[in-house]
Structure 1
Amino acid sequence: MTTYSDERQLLGEADQRALDYFDSQHTRPAFPTKQAIAALSALDQPLNEHALAAQQVLRHLDEIASPATVNSNGSRYFGFVIGATLPAAAAAERLVLAWDQCASSFDNSPAADVIERIAGRWVLEALRLPTSSAVGFGTSATACTLACISAARRALLARKGWDFDGDGLMGAPEVRVVVSASVHITVKKALRILGFGTKRLIIAATDAYGRIDPLQLPPLDDLCILCLQAGEVNTGEFDPFSAIIPVAKGAGAWVHVDGAFGLWARASSSEQLTEGVEQADSWTTDGHKWLNTPYDGAMAICRDADALAQAMNSDAAYACASKDAQKNLNLEFSRRARGIPIWAALASLGREGLRQMIDQHIRQASTLAERLRTAGYQVLNRVVLNQVLVRADDDQQTLAIRLAAQASGQVWFGPTVWQDRPAFRLSISSWRTTDADIDLLAELLIKLKQEITS
């Protein structure tokens, strides 16, 4: 039987191993070696018949799995818009784990309930969105999009007198969805899960930068949901909100904005990129991207707080709570207090620190793009944000350079496709990334291009 002393010793060992891992981040490769990945097979054993000592479980996990982790918490990881974890957010996550709270409502955890309410208010203040909006802390932009689109459809049908909760969709007026030609896959996934059907989506044409063209906006009405983007995944561009949203609202449509990372530009010196986005009805954004909080933490934000609360309500006879309890604002009933690391990140940064961090990444992206252009690379986007979209002289070169950069272990970034041709995308979003890291990335890419073309 595990005693208090045994448990405390085990947690202490886990803390020490975590600190050792933390100390190794500066020397471990950006992506694990083939040998480290192959060693994971040692964990693939039949379920043991008898108990295994907790210390041995921890030792196996650390000694076998830690070397096979991606160093996305380091300074030279440029893939998928993944931010490192700010110290205050990492520390808060460790404390919250010790609390082990079911953060569904005040009755489950007064501390979590109060802190997440404050975090929600701070998010609205930082992003300058309507302060009466509801903020639900969910697992990801995908899950939060599900919540927002569910609220949108339910609200639009209610305006037509349709009882969605009671009658479902059979026989209901059809709610149509308009999305950008460059819509993110997570939005399409959410719409597919909700039953809209990918073949029935109405596609809005985009310009050369991946933004919806207002002059080619499909007809909208009061049974339409229009999905816009704050930060196109390849180019970092923004749909022209000021030109589009008033038209949509005038038609009675619901406007949702996918702002997984780009919405945070509103907290930066480049806030003009997001002009008009505050006129939308709902928004989603992640904390684990540009706010640099631990995975998984995201936000569903809805101007009509009642619309989100009614759509997501999960009150039961044994578990009633206020309409704005977190279990009534997102998909999860039993949930972790994901808003607490977000609270810690915002508390530690403040408005100024948040602005400086985002400004730095935008400046670094611009610097990197200029160096690569000078070296003969094609930079395919205008680099208005933290994304640098790159192609070499031809498709084969582009592929070879990316693979060589990955194999170096010094940096990591992934592939993409832009206008039907291969490219690679460099995402700068880690608070740890210094100008020296950007210099190293640029010099590596320049060196690889010279080697491949010589």
Structure 2
Amino acid sequence: METHLSSASRPPAAVPAELFARTAQIAADWLRSLDRRPVAASATLGELRSRLGGPLPVGSVDPLTVVEDLARAAEPGLVAMPSGRYFGFVIGGGLPAAVAADWLTSVWDQCPGFYACGPAASVVEEVTGAWLAALLGLPADASFAFVTGCQTAHLTCLAAARHHVLDAVGWNVEELGLGGSPSIRVIVGARRHVSVDRAVRFLGIGRASLRVLPVDGSGRMEVSRLREELAAAGTPTIVCAQAGEVNTGAVDDLDEIADAVAGTGAWLHVDGAYGLWAAASPALRHLVRGVERADSWAFDAHKWLNVPYDSGLAFCAHPDSHRAAMTATADYLVQGGPGQPRDAMDWTPAFSRRARGFAVYAALRSLGQRGVADLVERSCAHARTFADGLAAVPGCEVLNEVVLNQVLFRFDDDRTTDGVLRRVIDSGEAWLSGTTVDGRRAIRLSVTNWQTSDSDIGRALDAFRNAAVEM
């Protein structure tokens, strides 16, 4: 008798080798096109909705057709972020080893929430965390978490800080919540990143808890005012310092801030989204002197380490507080065991998540210590070259001291500044973002991509010279 199998009982299909080979070809063609393609997307919003939209098919579609159609429809709406001429938002490219490892991550499809779901993924995170602590000069016994990015890293670190400062005054926030708890003040600089404020909101501490301190012209916190604030009422306190202001690249005086915090019982957190990577460079390490004295650190790998999105790290000098803020357990979970493997869900807000450690491991191993230092130093050298070239463009004013990879500049007035930027983006030669500083329009450039070359900097400078003449 003939038997008809339901879709649920059909045997698994063969490995779609043709599909994966074609996908790899599409990916390679995209990467090869970066040097000659416009950096900005070319399609409008309406065009993309038309190309990608329409009703969901009733029946199934061949996977190869799906991938080819997707690539063809999306291509005009892709920004060439992996290009060496993309200078926006402190976004790196993807190192070849990291991209390849990220592909394997998708194929392996491991869940490193706890060891039993992905032993290799868990151990890779353990190894990579130790490498990062050594590379960046953080305490060897610091706990850590692989998260989506610096926003979630702040959330993780500040949750540990919240536990720590309230526990010190006898309040168990995990058990009792914040209702009726002692108030927490969070001391920040006026030019902190908005993700710090957002983490404070998410944690229920609230924006009203912020004590905003003045900063100097580059965005560095005024430490004398910090000392005054810390000398005030002895409420539980978190201090958020910054390594790498988003527009200027300026780094707070972390050593002096650590001196001010020492002995007060306050928790010192460092937003090192990209600037903490200066610690990997012997030539730039002095900029973050004293960073190891903090209580927690948040930073990204998808910025200066150039791994694919998304990839952030949270480190904490107080593992007990970190674990208390994050851990979870359930009868059905398989946790711990012989040799005490590391269960990542004890350290992250996530339960199930992507095995981000593979790409970070591959990036670090492919570069080595000297390669990471060279990537950081080369980016900073390109930024200085760009700033020097801009200084010779009529009507252009460089607004910051170029200490890292950020250049902040403007033209004669707001209209000219925005007009020059628009012309450069429309030329396809580079992509940068505008900003507002002290009430005036400006342009910010970030050199973060491993592929950026002298030629890329030259092309971007030529585009600004031409745009300035047109304006």
Matches within 5 A, 1:11-410: 11-34=20-43, 38-217=47-226, 218-220=228-230, 221=234, 223-268=236-281, 269-322=283-336, 324-376=342-394, 377-410=396-429
Q: Deviations over 1:333-365 (max 9, x none)?
A: 101111211111111111111111111111111
Q: Deviations over 1:15-67 (max 9, x none)?
A: 22222222222222101113697244222212232222222221221110123
In structure 1, distance between residues paired with 2:175 and 2:201: 22
In structure 2, distance between residues paired with 1:427 and 1:448: 19
Identity of aligned residues (%): 39
- The one-letter code matched in structure 2 to 1:393 is D
Distance apart, 1:308 and its partner CA: 1.0
Distance apart, 1:9 and its partner CA: 2.6
Distance apart, 1:159 and its partner CA: 1.2
SS at match of 1:219: helix
CA spacing shift, 1:106–1:164, aligned 2, 3 Å:
same
Conservation of the 8 A alpha-carbon contact between 1:40 and 1:65: no
Distance apart, 1:306 and its partner CA: 1.8
Q: Deviations over 1:223-250 (max 9, x none)?
A: 0001110000001001111111121122
Q: Deviations over 1:364-383 (max 9, x none)?
A: 11111111112231110000
Matched, 1:412 2:422: no
In structure 2, distance between residues paired with 1:232 and 1:209: 8
CA spacing shift, 1:78–1:6, aligned 2, 3 Å:
same
Could you tell me which runs of 5 or more consecutive residues in structure 1 were left unpaired when the two chains were aligned: none
SS at match of 2:369: helix
Q: Deviations over 1:383-432 (max 9, x none)?
A: 00000001011111101000000101111001111111110100000000
Conservation of the 8 A alpha-carbon contact between 1:405 and 1:411: yes
SS at match of 1:227: strand
- The one-letter code matched in structure 1 to 2:464 is L
Could you tell me which runs of 5 or more consecutive residues in structure 2 were left unpaired when the two chains were aligned: 1-9
Matched, 1:449 2:456: no
In structure 2, distance between residues paired with 1:434 and 1:313: 44
In structure 1, distance between residues paired with 2:61 and 2:381: 51
Normalization by structure 1: what TM-score?
0.96
- The one-letter code matched in structure 1 to 2:359 is P
Normalization by structure 2: what TM-score?
0.93
Q: Deviations over 1:176-212 (max 9, x none)?
A: 1111100101111111111222233110110111000
- Equivalence for 2:445: 426
Conservation of the 8 A alpha-carbon contact between 1:180 and 1:206: yes
SS at match of 2:174: helix
SS at match of 1:129: coil
CA spacing shift, 1:320–1:179, aligned 2, 3 Å:
farther
In structure 1, distance between residues paired with 2:360 and 2:46: 32
Conservation of the 8 A alpha-carbon contact between 2:247 and 2:408: yes
The number of residues matched between the two structures is 452
Which is worse superposed, 319-328 or 230-239?
319-328
In structure 2, distance between residues paired with 1:202 and 1:324: 37
- The RMSD of aligned alpha carbons is 1.6
Conservation of the 8 A alpha-carbon contact between 2:145 and 2:315: yes
Conservation of the 8 A alpha-carbon contact between 2:115 and 2:342: no
CA spacing shift, 1:324–1:202, aligned 2, 3 Å:
farther
In structure 2, distance between residues paired with 1:6 and 1:342: 27
SS at match of 1:215: helix
In structure 1, distance between residues paired with 2:267 and 2:51: 51
In structure 1, distance between residues paired with 2:167 and 2:405: 40
